[in-house]
Amino acid sequence: MKLSYTLEDLERIASKILEKARSKTILFSGQMGAGKTTLIKKLVKTLGSDDKVSSPTFSLVNEYEGEQAAIYHFDFYRIEEESEAYDMGFEDYLDDEHYVFIEWPEKISNLWPEHYSLVELEVDENQSRTLTLTEF
């Protein structure tokens, strides 16, 4: 699935991702400033959470309470080696009972689960975004 959108479209885009994604583990890839955290904020809200969403750049993971499941939000931008994710017990978060949103997944490519959804974000010339959703 490939979509172009602006900030005004975020609610529709978040609903579309949740409808089309076959996995609750969703990896978000894109350059700095592409809108990964902004999109995740809207996804968390769409899942029924009233929690304040922020990037877990320093804590590596934030937990939010959705209407039907917990939501774990990872940001691996600052890690130097995959072993840091492994040491924090990252693999324990990977199951089908809750949502797992991962920013900067390329930093932990050897730890990706067998099945996941990948959201790739690109910034377009007019500050809109192009989103590509791929299933693995």
Q: List the chain domain ranges.
A: 2-135
The domain defined by 2-135 carries CATH number 3.20.20.80: no
The yes-or-no verdict on residue 95 having pLDDT over 90 is: no
Is 131 within 8 Å of 123 (Cβ atoms)?
A: no
H/E stretch holding 69 reads: none
Reported as a single tens digit per residue, the pLDDT across 96-122 is 789 999 999 999 999 999 999 999 999
Indicate whether 125 pLDDT > 90.
no
Chain segment 20-69, per-residue pLDDT in tens: 999 999 999 999 999 999 999 999 999 999 999 988 877 889 999 999 99
Q: Distance between CA 55 and CA 49 in Å, rounded? A: 16
Q: With contact defined as beta carbons under 8 Å apart, do 107 and 86 qualify? A: no
